[in-house]
Amino acid sequence: MRVGERLQGREAAWKDLESLVERLGASRPRKASAEEVLRLGQLYRGVCTDLMLAEAHDLPRATVTYLHGLVGRSHNVLYRTRGFSPRDLGRALFDEAPRQLRGDPAVRIAAAVFLVSFLFAALAAAAQPDFARQVAGEQALEQIDHMYAQPLSGPGSESLGRDDAIMAGFYIQHNASIGLQCFAWGILFGLGSLAQLLSNGIGLGTMFGHMATSPHARNFFTFVTAHSSCELTALVFAGAAGLRMGWGLIDTRGQTRLESLRREAAAALPALGVSVILFIAAAFIEGFVSASALPYAAKLAVALIAAALILSYLSLGGRPAVLANASPRGGGGVASETSER
């Protein structure tokens, strides 16, 4: 009798939970507030206890069935998974990712490390030929000189047998391996990613500096110009994602190292995701534009357009004013969701 009386006094909580579940589980639910989420959790735990008591004391089947249904609906609302939505993907790429990248110190550190090492090595290799030999080795310099000894257009270029699609696939694989190394080595407290950024900066800078003073400089820069904006930016973002992951092993914020690593790995996803997209874009440009017989002016235009798009994405993406202008006047939309955050 005492159990029955207790459950009878809980009917108001059941109705409250049922009303909350109906609001949050509608076909087009609005974003739940923090108070509603907490209230839903409290009511859900309470009704689970009520269901156990009802079954253990053989209360009427109508009550047990009602509680079973209420627990099931509440569980679906509380732990539901959202399906794929192009709108959510667009918001993640064009709202959340650029905002996080702008405010992420790991991106600035990665950019500084790579650019400083690249420029230093390029200037040193251009001014001192012995520097390039010591860094890259005589054999590597001979190979790159031979690779760009012949222009991409003109007599004999047809004999190269170029297949754009195959080369684009190769560049995707090659670029992805470099990016994954920059990211994965971040597990060594970020030092591995720093080493990868330094290694790639010095290596690429040395090749650029060496080829700048080579008789084949025109052929080299005709090939590398178009895809350089996407590829070098992608490399920096991959390194930044590795630094962010490694930082989780240093600044745990009172969590275990594993929990902190999971937190910072999630924070690294925007940089890593944009890096992957840029690496793929660079591979397609390298396969279909860089190696083509297009004039250098056209390839330079591709590089400048790509650089402008990247800068616009980083500087304007996720700005509240941009989102407000893009949302409908009638309320709701992205602007209202942004204000709720």
Q: Does 334 map to a domain?
A: no
Burial class (CB in 10 A: 0-12, 13-18, 19+), 162: middle
Q: Is there a single domain that holds both residue 141 and residue 209? A: yes
Q: Is there a single domain that holds both residue 131 and residue 67? A: no
Q: Is there a single domain that holds both residue 72 and residue 102? A: no
Q: Is there a single domain that holds both residue 135 and residue 29? A: no
pLDDT of residue 153: 61
pLDDT of residue 331: 41
Q: Does 159 map to a domain?
A: yes
Q: Does 94 map to a domain?
A: yes
Q: Is there a single domain that holds both residue 170 and residue 312? A: yes
Q: Is there a single domain that holds both residue 140 and residue 235? A: yes
How many domains does one find in the chain? 2
Q: Does 95 map to a domain?
A: yes
Per-residue pLDDT of the chain in tens (341 residues, 90 and over written 9): 476 677 777 888 888 888 888 877 764 555 667 777 788 888 888 888 888 888 887 778 888 888 888 888 888 777 765 555 677 777 778 888 898 899 899 999 999 999 999 999 999 999 998 999 999 999 999 999 998 988 876 544 444 445 667 777 777 888 888 888 999 999 999 999 999 999 999 999 999 999 999 999 999 999 999 999 999 999 999 999 999 999 999 988 888 888 888 888 888 888 888 999 999 999 999 989 998 889 999 999 999 999 999 999 999 988 775 444 544 444 443 333 333 43
Q: H or E element: which one contains 135?
A: helix 129-136
Q: Does 340 map to a domain?
A: no
Q: Is there a single domain that holds both residue 143 and residue 213? A: yes
Q: By C-alpha distance, which of 294, 291, 297 is closest to 168?
A: 291
Q: Does 333 map to a domain?
A: no
Report yes or no: 88 and 255 within 8 Å, Cβ to Cβ. no
Domain that includes residue 304, residue range: 87-326
Q: Does 338 map to a domain?
A: no
- The rounded distance, in Å, linking the Cα atoms of 316 and 336 is 18
Q: Which of 79, 108, 128 is the last residue of a domain?
A: 79
Q: Is there a single domain that holds both residue 72 and residue 106? A: no
Phi, psi for 323 (deg, rounded to 5):
-65, -40
Q: Is there a single domain that holds both residue 63 and residue 202? A: no
Structure tokens given for 130: 């012995």
- The rounded distance, in Å, linking the Cα atoms of 277 and 279 is 5
Q: Which of 79, 111, 127 is the last residue of a domain?
A: 79
pLDDT of residue 162: 54
Q: Which of 31, 54, 79 is the last residue of a domain?
A: 79
Q: Does 186 map to a domain?
A: yes
Q: Is there a single domain that holds both residue 51 and residue 180? A: no
- The rounded distance, in Å, linking the Cα atoms of 258 and 272 is 20
Q: Is there a single domain that holds both residue 126 and residue 273? A: yes
pLDDT of residue 170: 77
Q: Is there a single domain that holds both residue 106 and residue 72? A: no
Helix, strand and coil percent figures for the chain, each rounded to 5 = 80, 0, 20
